[in-house]
Structures are given as structure tokens and as C-alpha cells.
Chains A and B, each alone.
Chain A
Amino acid sequence: MASISEKPMDVFGATLSRRHFLKAGGILAVGFSVAGPELLTAGTSQRTTMKNSLDPTLPSSWIEIHPDNTILIRTGKNDFGQSTTFTAYRQIVADELSVPFEAITTVIAGDTDKTPDGSGAFDFLGGGMPNIRKAAAYTHQALLDLASERLGVPKSKLAVKDGIVSGGGKSVSYGDLVKDQQLKLTIPVKGSLTSISGLTIEGNPPMKPVSEYTVIGKSFKNSVTSSKVAAKETWATDVRLPGMLHARVVHPKTLGSTLVSAGKLDQAKFPNSQVIVKGNLVGVVASSEWEAIQAADQVAKDTKWTDWKGLPGNAKLYQQLRKQSDWTAAPVQKSDDTKGSPAAVLASAHKKHSATYELPYMKHAPIGPTMALADVQADGTVHIYTHNQNPQALRGEIAKMLHTTPDQVIVHAYPGPGHYGRSNGGNAGAEDEAVLLSQAVGKPVRVQWMRADDMQWSTQSPAAFSDIQIALDDNHKIVAYQADHYMPAMQDDRPVGAVLAGLPTMSAPDVHSGGATSTVNEIQDPWIYTSVPNVLERGHGTFQVGQKASPIAVGLRDHSMRTPVQYQQNYPRELAMNEAAALAGVDAIQFRIDNARTGNKKTDSAKAERLIGVLNSVRDASGWDTRPSPHSGAVSTGPQPVRGRGVSSLLRNGTYWACVCHIAVTPDSGVIKVEKYTIAVDPGIIVNPLQLKRQVQGGAVMGISHALLEEVLFDESGVTQYDWNSYPILTMADIPEIKVELINNPKVGSYGGGSEAANALAAPAIAAALHDATGKILRRLPLKPEYVKAMLST
């Protein structure tokens, strides 16, 4: 096709180049230039194109403006029920481009060959600056440059409404601007595509002023919900390939067993089945799913494993964690809020609270067990069809396992059950197993874990304990706060099938592993009681429990789960705050406000103001009765329910939270019923009130479930829970009245994340309410009847 090239134009650090095409068509596509290590040819600054990826030097990647004024966006961030990619991302792009929400007709998310930036299904709003926003801002500037040239009007005199640029009495639509041209906007990007955080757009293109938002702030619906509800969506579980086989995996007997002998298949009964053994990985493939299940059961019964007893078991968990874990495995971390000399103040304080708090391993427990369909082709290309929070990271892990390069691996992303963080490092369990079995049989293989596999062979949110000390002065204010948080490594991203098969993986978490996968325990619960003069928070990290002792390097593998690290640090802090308030004889909400305020409104920090805002809001909305805890009628015995209330607060990803739980507890049975749950949220600008409310309600339910019920039970060999009866979660009958107060706070100038953290607030508030009702405190989760009853009777 004949074309005329023009010289490139600079757009705030991005480069706009174009060709006029003589035939109809045209598009403005936003690509990017990359300085990421794996996209550079070694030793040169020459960019190369990774096969099966969006070409970083050619048009395509983020946003396409079409001649018919429709817009397509692409993101590596895959939806897991947060709705953000289909609602907030469209709203953000629509506002930056000044087009209606409906103009963004297509969202492509997750597929590694069709999306640009990688990273995972977490922190969607990226501190108010998600990649897609910057991509839109650059695109907007490029369109203005084009319009300025086309209309002969200076850029500063142009205005855009509904995708029409006008100025000087003339106007042109975005669609007309791109018609018959091929435009390429190249924007600066840094990072590594297959790392956990993927690529980040650089530079500072001008952004639309908050005051001009018209799409952000409205309750748009999630387009995918409609197709899911109508059974029109293709889920990962629905994908079928020609010649595909079904598989089940026979996982080892314990978290440290090696294979003695694989069971012999009863070929007469299961004529279309086959056993595959790779190291300690035993799989059974069959032409039908039901045969695969039955054949795997038969083979499992006949498979011999070594025994292993290398775990402490539940009863000894905290004792062993404290005494026998290697807390020198990582340097001690201190928070940025460290100030003064708390040790000295604590030593001389005459009013002091000092206690240890413990919280258990918990399961992500997706409602559907992990599954994946893999197709390892003769030429070495690997296709994986699955539901994964970080498809680009999975690509890197599979390439490593197969001694190949990521360009050989394509991950196709589909909807599936929520993972709550379990696959944000690239795998949930079945992906690598499907690849290995497909490679072995030379056909596409679909691995579906059964419920027991998912309970016993998945990762879990790590257990932790904390020592907290708080000194009070005579004015009932905190003069010193000291916290020591202890936790095994948070995130093990080694694919378990590769580990079992003895194939290459990243190393198990140690001090050298990067970021989240390290043994380093950073302080991730930002300090919010800003007027406290002496603060010290330390994080102590160690190896995963049993992993080094396990002959197959497994043990209790951990993985970040909704509000990770912060959950483990905020529960002890907030419960201790309630106890300190009780010791001071001050109402627990007022106590928090007093310790955030400087005493002079003018010098209160913006942080304190927002915290006080959510605390006041939750106080009013919950019908909180201002008084010290415990309640004057607190009772810790008897068959009659007694009532109490507790509060908690938290700051995460720019969002302030406060929560009040009203409970009834029956001392004789230890049964706690949460009767009312009230939560106030200030995320700054609210992007989509309806979706935010739904996310907060969901997080509330999950948090109550964590607080009341959830704990991984294990013996010396492995996890002993295997289904929903042995690992119960909250049912509908158990939910309280849930009240959500959304505080839109545009003067913050940005939007914080609101989908995630609501799960963290219930536990400390309920534990404080138990203290309020009974006068007794349980400093360990979960607050299940057995533990509550035992505590109350001592």
C-alpha cells in the first residue's frame, strides 16, 4: 500500500509517528518502547520483538481509536470479580479522553499475546495512576496535536467533548482524525513483562483535572456480569480442544512424601486411561472426565509413598514458630513511621499494655478448585487456557520449567472463580501440571483439581504472631507504641507440579528472592495514629514452615491473600488499640481520634483528618454508644447471649477504613453471632459507587468468615481438611446486617483501592466486641466456639 511518512512528533516524552494511507481505514494505536531486560537483546540497546507478545515497537498495545469513534482498550490485569477492568478502567479512560463510557466498546484483558503490560489482578487502581490512565492521557495529547494541525488552531484553544475536538469555530471527531492514517504513539515503559508487577508506563502526561470528571463517580454496570448471568460467557472451565484428554493428579500422601511406586492402572476397567509419572508427580489421563476421576481414585489407592512427619501440627504451631523458626533468615525491617525512643518510655511507663496476638494459616478457598488446559505442540509452542491472576508471570514460570523461553508460551485468560491473591504470582496449582501431562502424551490435557487437592495442595495465607506494647500517659494518651511482627515468608510462587517433578523453578522463598517472595517481613500496615510521639514497628521474617525439612521441598507453602501482610499486622495492632483504650478508660473510637489529633486542628495532618472522618462516620452510622469497654453489664458465664461492640481502622492503598461490629455471644457455648457490621470507606474519589459498595459488602462477609471460622488444620504430615465441611466458610444465614458508608472525598485528588481491604477489618472489631461483652479477651483467631468457650471459662 502506498503511504507517505511524516516526521515523528514529541508528545510529553512519547513519540507520535504516522503514515497517510491512500486507502480507507486508519487507527490510532498506542504502543510502547520498553527498557525491560527480557525485551532487550543482550549487550545492545536494540529492541527485539518477543514472539507471541504485542510487538513493543509497532502499533497495537494499549488503546485503539477507530474511525467509527469506537475505542478498544487492553490491559494485562485480568478480572477476578472486582469488576474494575470492565467498569473503572473504562470510566478512567473515558474521562481522560473526554468520550462517553459507551464509546469504549471492547476490553481485552489478560491474554499474554494480546495485552501489553503484564502484572496481576491486584492493585487495579495503582495508587490512582494505573497504566491505562497514563496510556489514555498520552493518547489524548496526541489526538489534540493532530487536531491542532488539522484545524489550524493552537492546542491551547481546543476543547473536547464526547470525542469531538473543537476550537476556532471548527471541529473534528477522533474518528475523523485517525481516518486513513496509521498513527503510532510510542510511550516510555519500564519493568519486566513476566515479573509479578509487569511493565509500568513512565512519564507525566497532563491529566484531566478532577473537577472535569463526568464519567468517574457514576455507577456503571459490569458488562461481563450480563454474559455470565445469561450463561453466555466462556469460562476457563468451558474450554475444550479437539483431541483433548481429561486428567486428575494423584498428589503425594504428605507434604514431604516421595514416590515409592505408582499404582497400577486396572486397564480392564479403565481402557482409555493412562498413568503418567514424572518424579513425584503422578497423573492419570483419560478420554472422558468421569473415567479420569475413577481411574485416578483407583491408581491413588495403589500408589505407595514414603511417610513424613516434619510439621509441628496445629497444637504446637505458635510455640514452634516462636522458638524453633530461624528469625535470622531475614534482616529485621523497621517501618517508615519509626520515631522517638519507645523502649525507654515503655521501661518507665506505669500504665502499660503488653500482649501477644496469634493468627492462623487460612485458605484462599476459591469456590472452584484450580484447573487448566494445556496444549504443548510438536514445535514446542505451549498454549495454556486458564484463569490466572498473572498470566505473564505464569508464562515465565512455565518457560523456566521447560528450559525454554517465554516467547514459546501463550497464556489465554478466561473467567473463573475468585482466587483472592493465590495466583497473583502466576500459578494456582493446575497450570504446570497440565503442561507436563500434555507434553507427556502429546495431546491437549485438561487438569482439574478436586476439592481435596485444592484444600491440601494449594498454598495458604501464612500464620503469624505479634508482640505489642503500648505505654499510656496520665492524660490517657499513647506515649509509646512498639510492635514486633513475626511471619514466615508470604509468597511461594514455585509451581507445585514442577517442584514435584523435580524440574526448574524459581528458588523457594529466602532472603535473596525478590519482593513478595522473600523471607523479609516488611511493615505494611501504615501507622495512622499520627500524634503518638514514640513508635517502633519491626517485621521479622523466616522460612516457610516445614519447607526445608520436606524431602520434596514443599511443607506448608504460603501465598498472599486479600490484604496480605497488612492483615497479619493490622489485626494485632487494632485489637491492642482497643485493649489500650480499655486500660485508659476511654471510648475506643475517641481513643483513636485522640491519638491521631495533635490537639490543634490547624496542625492536624491530612492523614489524621481522613482517619477521623471515617471514625466519625462509622460512629454515627453504627449507632455507637460512646463509653469505655468493657460494657458495665459484661458477663462471661451463662446460657444467655451478651452483647458488645468493637471498632477497627486501617489505611491501605490510599483508602481509609473504619469498621464497627456489634455482636452477641453466648458464654456457655462460645458461639458468636455478628448482628451488625458497619463500615466507612474514604478512598478519595469514588470511581463507581455501586461496584465499590458491592466489593465492600463481599469483603465484609469474607472478613467475618475469617474471624469466626477459618483456620487451616494440619498434623505433622499435612493439611487435614479436605472439603467444605472440614473447612467451613460463612453461610448466608450467618451474615449480619451490613451497612456501608461511602465517603467521596474529591479533594484528595485521586482514587484509592477499595476492592480489597474490607476483609481485614472484621477480626479485630469482633475480638474487641467479645471483650466488650464479656470483659475477657481472646488474642487468637479464629473466634470459633471451642476457643471462645475455653477462654471464657478460665
Chain B
Amino acid sequence: MATLNVNGVQREVEASPDTPLLYVLRNDLQLIGPQFGCGLAQCGACAVLIDGKEARSCVTALSDVAAHQEITTLEGLPARWAKQKGLSADEAKSALHPVQQAWIEEQTPHCGFCQNGMMIKATELLESNPNPTVAQIKDAFTNSGPSPNLCRCGTYTAIIEAVQHAATIMAKGR
């Protein structure tokens, strides 16, 4: 039995310690934001935040994550934002994370299968750099993780626009 801290909740899981976190999240905890894209840390589809840093859940063993570490999946982004901004429970319920809002406003996804990882990467970036330039965005999505975040549908332009849009929403604080 292992204990995970996912999206602010302690979860008990029964899985062998070498099980990749991705399968634990999807199959045991029904957290379906992260997707299986390669299983090789080469695409980013499975990304989650672990203590605010993007991690590839497909190559992160269950035993690699300590009980005190905070895992945030796509499902947990709204609560993460609500907590950071001190929103009331009511406000938090209806609010999406600014990154998610921007992704909708800009109509960024095509198939959307890679976009979990893209939104996780955007959140990581904006938490450390609230106003990134296009060059910084390109660098973050290509060089900061274990591999570039890949999108086969070619939505990179829309992602850049959405990251900048999210930055303006975050600057406004809502």
C-alpha cells in the first residue's frame, strides 16, 4: 500500500512499487487528464506536476514519489489556482485555471491528446515566469522537460498564443 498526495487529497493505492505513476493515476485513481503517448518520456502527453515541476508520469515509478510530494494533474489545476489566489470555495468551484481558460478562449487543441502535457508545461512556466516572451515559451516547451512537448496536430502557434493569453488572465488575478 502506498500513499500519494494527489490534487490536495491523500490517496491510498495498491499497486506494485515499480508501476509507472501514469497507470496508477489512470487505472487506480480514475484521473484521466494524463494520457499515454509514448511511455518513454519522449512526448509529454502523460505530464503531471510534482511539487510544481513537470514530470513524466509514464517513467515515474510509484515508489519514486514520496507521500509528502504534491502531485497535480490536469484535474487539479483549478484547485491549484484557487489556492494560490485564495479564492472562496464557491469561486473555486466554477473557475478553471487561467491556462485552461486561455486554452478554450484561443481554441488551442485540435485532437487535444497532447494538450494535457501542454497545459501542465504552461502552468509550470507561468508559475516561475509570469510574462514569458515567445522565445522563452518556445524554449520551455522544447528544452526544459525530459523531451520536447510534442504535438502531432501542429498546434504550437495556438499554444504560444494561449500561454500569453493565460499570462494576462493571471496578471488580472482571476
Distance in angstroms from A347 CB to nearest chain B CB is 44
B153 and A451 contacting across the interface, CB-CB below 8 Å? no
A195 at the interface (CB under 8 A from B): no
- A391 to B116, alpha carbons, bound, how many Å? 26
Chain A residues whose C-beta falls within 8 Å of the C-beta of B115 in the assembled complex: 228-229
A290 at the interface (CB under 8 A from B): yes
A415 at the interface (CB under 8 A from B): yes
Asked if A417 meets B20 with Cβ closer than 8 Å, knowing A367-B151, A700-B154, the reply is no
Chain A residues whose C-beta falls within 8 Å of the C-beta of B6 in the assembled complex: none
| Closest partner residue, chain A, to B99 (CB atom) | A229
B29 at the interface (CB under 8 A from A): no
- A263 to B8, alpha carbons, bound, how many Å? 44
Contact mask for chain B residues 108-126; partner A; CB cutoff 8 A; 1 contact, 0 none: 1111111110010000000
- The 20 listed contacts between A and B (C-beta, < 8 Å) are A83-B107, A83-B110, A229-B108, A229-B115, A288-B15, A288-B27, A290-B20, A365-B152, A367-B43, A417-B114, A417-B152, A418-B110, A691-B107, A694-B155, A698-B153, A723-B40, A730-B154, A731-B150, A732-B141, A733-B141
Distance in angstroms from A260 CB to nearest chain B CB is 28
Interface band, chain B: 35 or more
Distance in angstroms from A165 CB to nearest chain B CB is 34
- A420 to B109, alpha carbons, bound, how many Å? 15
B153 and A290 contacting across the interface, CB-CB below 8 Å? no
A724 and B38 contacting across the interface, CB-CB below 8 Å? yes
B23 and A225 contacting across the interface, CB-CB below 8 Å? no
- A733 to B134, alpha carbons, bound, how many Å? 10
Distance in angstroms from B132 CB to nearest chain A CB is 12
A733 and B142 contacting across the interface, CB-CB below 8 Å? yes
- A366 to B32, alpha carbons, bound, how many Å? 19
A439 at the interface (CB under 8 A from B): no
A699 and B154 contacting across the interface, CB-CB below 8 Å? yes
Chain B residues whose C-beta falls within 8 Å of the C-beta of A729 in the assembled complex: 150, 152
B147 and A724 contacting across the interface, CB-CB below 8 Å? yes
A418 and B38 contacting across the interface, CB-CB below 8 Å? no
B75 and A231 contacting across the interface, CB-CB below 8 Å? yes
Enumerate the 9 nearest inter-chain pairs by beta-carbon distance, A residue then B residue, closest first: A701-B154, A81-B110, A81-B111, A698-B154, A733-B142, A417-B113, A418-B111, A731-B148, A724-B42
Q: How many positions in chain A have a CB within 8 Å of any CB in the partner chain?
A: 57
- A729 to B74, alpha carbons, bound, how many Å? 25
B164 at the interface (CB under 8 A from A): no
Chain B residues whose C-beta falls within 8 Å of the C-beta of A416 in the assembled complex: 111, 113
Q: Which of B126-174 contact A (CB under 8 A)?
A: 137-139, 141-143, 147-160
Asked if A732 meets B149 with Cβ closer than 8 Å, knowing A226-B104, A450-B39, A691-B107, the reply is yes
A368 at the interface (CB under 8 A from B): yes
Distance in angstroms from A68 CB to nearest chain B CB is 25
B81 at the interface (CB under 8 A from A): no
| Closest partner residue, chain B, to A697 (CB atom) | B157
Kindly list 14 other residue pairs between chains A and B, CB separation below 8 angstroms, not including A231-B75, A698-B158, A735-B156: A229-B112, A289-B23, A367-B37, A369-B37, A417-B114, A451-B40, A691-B107, A697-B157, A698-B155, A700-B154, A701-B154, A723-B38, A723-B42, A730-B154
- With beta carbons under 8 angstroms apart, the residue of B33, B40, B113, B148 that contacts A418 is B113
Asked if A231 meets B33 with Cβ closer than 8 Å, knowing A451-B40, A732-B148, the reply is yes
B139 and A229 contacting across the interface, CB-CB below 8 Å? no
Taking Cβ atoms with an 8 Å cutoff, the residues of A that contact B are 80-83, 221-222, 224-226, 228-231, 233-235, 237-238, 240, 288-290, 365-369, 415-418, 420, 448, 450-451, 690-691, 694-695, 697-702, 705, 723-725, 729-735, 738
A702 and B32 contacting across the interface, CB-CB below 8 Å? no
A290 and B111 contacting across the interface, CB-CB below 8 Å? no
B36 and A368 contacting across the interface, CB-CB below 8 Å? yes
Chain A residues whose C-beta falls within 8 Å of the C-beta of B19 in the assembled complex: 290
Distance in angstroms from B28 CB to nearest chain A CB is 9
A448 and B104 contacting across the interface, CB-CB below 8 Å? no
Chain A residues whose C-beta falls within 8 Å of the C-beta of B109 in the assembled complex: 81, 225, 228-229
B45 at the interface (CB under 8 A from A): yes
| Closest partner residue, chain A, to B154 (CB atom) | A701
- With beta carbons under 8 angstroms apart, the residue of B18, B151, B158 that contacts A694 is B158
- A140 to B159, alpha carbons, bound, how many Å? 40
B35 at the interface (CB under 8 A from A): yes
Q: Which of B32, B75, B110, B143 has the most chain A CB atoms closer than 10 A to its own CB?
A: B110
B79 at the interface (CB under 8 A from A): no
B69 at the interface (CB under 8 A from A): no
A366 and B96 contacting across the interface, CB-CB below 8 Å? no
B100 at the interface (CB under 8 A from A): yes
| Closest partner residue, chain A, to B18 (CB atom) | A290
- A367 to B143, alpha carbons, bound, how many Å? 19
- With beta carbons under 8 angstroms apart, the residue of B36, B40, B103, B143 that contacts A237 is B36
